[in-house]
Amino acid sequence: MPSDPRPSDDDDALLHTLCDLSALLDPILLQPAITRAMCRLGAARRCLLLRHEAGLALIQAEARYDGLHVCNSQRYCIAQPADLQGAKLTLVLNHRGQVLGELLLYYDDAPGAAMLRRVQHLAAHAAVALSNATEHARALLEKEQLLVAERELRTSQELLKQGERFNHTGSMRYLVREDLMFCSDELCRIYGLPPGRKCITYDEFAAIMHPDDRQEVIETVNAAVAMGGTIRVEHRICRQDTGEVRYLSGIGKPVWMDGTFTEYMGTATDITVRRQAEYAIRAAQVDMERVARANTVGQLTASIAHEINQPLMSIVSNAGASLRWLNRPQPDLEHARASLRDIISEGQRAGGIISSLQNLTRNRSPQFERLNLHALIRHTLMLSRSELEQREVTLALSLGPADVHVLGDTVQLQQVLLNLVVNAIDAMAAVPENARTLAISASCCNEERVEVQVRDSGEGICAEAMPRIFDAFYTTKENGMGMGLAICRSIIETHRGRLRVAAAVPQGSVFSFDLPRVP
């Protein structure tokens, strides 16, 4: 540090020093400058600038004068008792009622009146300069904090925009009284609003909705607004710019102030891709169900051919008999009519079987209707009767005396029954012929549900496979697809039921499912 000139009572030196102190706006530089000025102009051999905090005296700056030079020594430390002893003069730095610190001046001899006035004048100006520097530093800090906050806000807003773009989710703010909806950039893009248009009315918002969804969404929104509740809707829109149909999922929550709500804050997510994926998955599932049905029917080809062959043979036999009755010298028309009626009956029977097979293998949408469950079970067993006889499987059918009706799709429930029957037949392939028993029962659990059980006397399912038996692509068969039971479970769950499996006693497996009853 350069040497300071020897203290002088020259007024020009005092004025120059006061100007220098006023020019320093950094408290870190100003504090040691004050102590140096006190030593130089106040002729003190030592000067301490103290600040009291939490019961401690803290040294903010210290200057010493050795007769030739003034230099700063320690600062920003706790004053020890020895540091506070021997001070000849203590000056409190007070500005506008605020104590900024105090100056301790050390002299060998007490200062004279002129020197006392000088140091008091210097201390008063130092208090003003220190107050100004502190306020300036605080303003700089606040400005820096404001700049940091603005940068963080801009970063946050940009991250929000990026997040909305990546997630195809826009945000909105709807002012209820003003009937104005303020949209984020992403929501404007989703709606297809003109560039620069970020505010629309509720009527304009309603106009964007797909005509088939508009009334339902409006009623849902109005009901939520009427009681200040949360709005949750899924609907389609027609973009303003292209007319493209998009699927949206929206949610809005009221903002309450002083016991009432004045606005809604919410988001709208473009779920078009997700909805298209759901449709594709559903289409694939329908195709898989059709393939599984065809596979099941294929395993029963011999049995189905036998069932069709029976009415065909009867038709041929009755046709021959009819010809014989008609070729008599005196045609027997009554017997011929009877044979022709039998031909019609057997033809309808064969047509019914073929129609059932077509429904099982055709790609069609589920059609829920009131079904006679007992009749459905008997019809399914008719298709597999020849297979049961060929495999020498004994059938034990236990149905209640009264018919039970359920609400379901004939083809899907028939698919489940056929799959369970075929699996049961395959499971008993390694069992001796006289021990192969297939037991099918239907019983009412209560007034609301009915349970169907398919029990076999096969080797059973191992404990390790039991938890995964309904998993897709998991199979215990050598050439199985692993889709049959998974599809069956999905079908039963669609019918508001549950498909279960358990080990049968003394051997084998029992598959069961329950369905809701209908009058």
Please report, for the domain that includes residue 399, its CATH number. 3.30.565.10
Q: What is the dihedral of CA 134, 140, 145, 148, to 10 degrees?
A: -160
pLDDT digits (tens, 9 = 90+) for 422-478: 888 888 888 888 889 999 999 988 888 999 999 999 888 888 888 888 886 667 666
- Based on the fold, state whether residues 349 and 425 are members of the same structural domain: yes
Query: What is the DSSP secondary-structure string of 88-136?
Result: SEEEEEEETTEEEEEEEEE-SS---HHHHHHHHHHHHHHHHHHHHHHHH
- Among 270, 293, 312, which residue terminates a domain? 270
Residue type, 441: S
**Residue 201 belongs to some domain of the structure:** yes
Backbone angles phi, psi at 364, to 5 degrees: -145, 160
- Based on the fold, state whether residues 223 and 293 are members of the same structural domain: no
**Residue 145 belongs to some domain of the structure:** no
CA distance 418 to 293: 9
**Residue 250 belongs to some domain of the structure:** yes
Angle, alpha carbons 27-29-30 (nearest 5°): 60
Predicted pLDDT at 6: 46
CA distance 182 to 180: 6
Distances (CA, A) of 2 to 32, 35, 70, 393, 419: 14, 15, 9, 115, 102
> Six-digit token pair at 293?
């049905």
Q: Quote the domain boundaries for residue 68.
A: 11-140
- Based on the fold, state whether residues 363 and 499 are members of the same structural domain: yes
- Based on the fold, state whether residues 393 and 317 are members of the same structural domain: yes
CA distance 35 to 17: 12
10 Å CB burial of residue 470 (0-12, 13-18, 19+) is middle
- Among 248, 270, 292, which residue terminates a domain? 270
- Based on the fold, state whether residues 111 and 190 are members of the same structural domain: no
Query: What is the distance of C-alpha 459 from the center of its chain?
Result: 45
- Based on the fold, state whether residues 441 and 384 are members of the same structural domain: yes
**Residue 65 belongs to some domain of the structure:** yes
58 in helix, strand or coil? Answer: strand
Predicted pLDDT at 373: 92
- Based on the fold, state whether residues 492 and 377 are members of the same structural domain: yes
Q: Which residues pair with 59 in a beta bridge?
A: 50, 77
- Based on the fold, state whether residues 111 and 178 are members of the same structural domain: no
10 Å CB burial of residue 180 (0-12, 13-18, 19+) is middle
Predicted pLDDT at 289: 61
Residues present in the chain in total: 519
Instruction: Select from 374, 394, 375 the least CA-distant residue to 458.
Output: 394
Q: What is the DSSP letter of 6?
A: P
> Six-digit token pair at 89?
């003069």
Cβ within 8 Å of residue 160, ≥6 positions away: 171, 184
Domain count across the chain: 3
**Residue 276 belongs to some domain of the structure:** no
Predicted pLDDT at 235: 92
Backbone angles phi, psi at 274, to 5 degrees: -65, -40
CATH number of the domain where residue 232 is located: 3.30.450.20
> Six-digit token pair at 170?
């826009």
| Regions of the chain with pLDDT less than 70 | 1-10, 67, 74, 284-311, 313-314, 317-318, 345-346, 348-365, 472-474, 476-483
> Six-digit token pair at 452?
């169907």
CATH number of the domain where residue 80 is located: 3.30.450.40
pLDDT digits (tens, 9 = 90+) for 377-423: 988 887 777 778 888 889 999 988 888 999 988 878 888 888 898 88
- DSSP element (H, E) containing 389: helix 373-390
Half-sphere exposure of 283 (CA within 13 A, CB side): 6
Q: What is the CA radius of gyration of the chain?
A: 48
- Among 270, 304, 331, which residue terminates a domain? 270
- Based on the fold, state whether residues 255 and 369 are members of the same structural domain: no
Cβ-contact 441, 472 below 8 angstroms = no
**Residue 331 belongs to some domain of the structure:** yes
Query: What is the DSSP secondary-structure string of 61-83?
Result: EEEEE-SS-EEE---SEEPPHHH
- Based on the fold, state whether residues 223 and 306 are members of the same structural domain: no
**Residue 491 belongs to some domain of the structure:** yes
Query: What is the DSSP secondary-structure string of 274-290?
Result: HHHHHHHHHHHHHHHHH
Cβ-contact 512, 454 below 8 angstroms = yes
State the alpha helices, DSSP H only, in 231-362.
272-299, 301-327, 333-361
Predicted pLDDT at 93: 92
**Residue 79 belongs to some domain of the structure:** yes
- Based on the fold, state whether residues 34 and 97 are members of the same structural domain: yes
- Based on the fold, state whether residues 353 and 448 are members of the same structural domain: yes
Neighbours of 216 (CB within 10 A): 12
